[in-house]
Structure 1
Amino acid sequence: MSKKIIVIGSTNMDMVVKTDHIPKPGETVLGGTFFMNPGGKGANQAVAVSRLGGDVTFVSKIGNDIFGKQSSKIFDDEGVDIGGIYAEDNSPSGIALITVDEKGENSIVVAPGANAFLDENNVRQAMEKYGDCEIMLLQLEIPIETVAYAIRYANHNHIQVILNPAPVNKSILPELGMVDIITPNVHEAATLAGQDITDMESAKEAAKKIKELGVKTVVITMGEKGALLYDAGEFQHIDAPAVEAVDTTAAGDVFNGALTVALAEGKSMKNAVSFACRCAAMAVTKMGAQNSIPHRNEIILTYFD
Structure 2
Amino acid sequence: MQRLTLLSLGSINADFQVRVDEPAGSRETQLAHDLCRLSGGKASNTAYLGARFGHRSLLLGRVGDDELAEQALDPLRQAGVEVDNVGRAAGQSTGVSMIMVPPDGKKSIVLATNANDCWDDAAIEAMAAAIDGCATPACLVLDYEVPARVVSRALEVAARNKIPAVLDPSFPERLDQALLPTLQAITPNVSEAEGLVGHALDSLDKLADAARQLQRDGPALVCIKLGDGGCVLTTADQTLHIPPGDVEPVDTTGAGDAFTGVFSVALLEGLEPREAAAWGVAAANLAVTGYGSQPAYADRQQVIELAQKLLEKARRLDG
TM interval, shorter chain, is over 0.9
Inter-partner Cα distance in structure 1 for 2:132 and 2:116: 21
- Closer/same/farther in 2, CA of residues 133 and 144 from structure 1, 3 Å limit: farther
- The question of 1:21 aligning with 2:22 is answered yes
**In structure 2, what is the equivalent of residue 57 of structure 1?**
58
How far 1:134 moved relative to its partner?
2.3
Q: Does 1:157 align with 2:158?
A: no
CA–CA separation in structure 1 for the residues paired with 2:192 and 2:165: 18
Task: Using the TM superposition, name which of 245-254 and 19-28 deviates more.
Answer: 19-28
Partner of 1:285: 289
Cα distance in 2 between the residues matched to 1:139 and 1:156: 19
Aligned equivalent of 2:254: 250
* 2:168 is equivalent to residue 167 of structure 1: no
Does the aligned pair in 1 maintain the 2:231–2:242 contact within 8 Å?
A: yes
What is the rounded CA distance, in whole Å, between the counterparts of 1:131 and 1:198 in structure 2? 42
Q: Is the 8 A contact 2:169 2:175 kept in 1?
A: no
- Does the 8 Å CA contact 2:66/2:93 hold for their aligned counterparts? yes
2:17 and 2:99 in contact (8 A); partners too: yes
| Aligned partner of residue 169 in structure 1, secondary structure | helix
TM-score w.r.t. length of structure 1: 0.93
Partner of 1:239: 243
Match of 1:66 in 2: 67
Deviations along 1:34-56, one digit per CA (max 9) or x if unpaired, are: 22211011101110121122321
SS of 2:228's partner is helix
Q: For residue 274 of structure 1, what is the aligned residue in structure 2?
A: 278
Q: In structure 1, what is the Cα distance between the partners aligned to 2:174 and 2:11?
A: 19
Aligned residues: 304
- Number of the residue aligned with 1:41: 42
- Give the corresponding residue for 2:113: 112
Unpaired segments ≥5 residues, structure 1: none
Q: Which amino acid aligns with 2:99?
A: I
Q: Deviations over 1:147-186 (max 9, x none)?
A: 1111122122211010011232254322112111000111
Query: Residues of 2 paired with 1:89 and 1:170: CA distance?
Result: 24
> Where in structure 2 are there 5+ consecutive unaligned residues?
312-319
Q: Cα gap change, 1:110/1:225 in structure 2, threshold over 3 Å: closer, same or farther? A: closer
DSSP 3-state at the match of 1:267: coil
Give the CA deviation at 1:31: 2.7
For residues 104-253 of structure 1, what are the structure 2 equivalents within 5 Å? 104-118=105-119, 119-132=123-136, 134-253=138-257
Question: What whole-Å deviation, never above 9, does each CA across 1:60-117 have from its counterpart, x for those lacking one?
Answer: 1112222212333222210112221112222111101111111111111111121112
User: Which structure has the higher relative contact order (CA within 8 Å, separation 6+)?
Assistant: 1
Answer with 77-86 or 127-136: which moved more: 127-136
SS class of match (1:33) = strand
Q: 1:26 Cα deviation (Å)?
A: 7.3
User: RMSD of the alignment, in Å?
Assistant: 2.0
- 1:194: how far off? 0.9
CA contact (8 A) 1:20 1:31 kept: yes
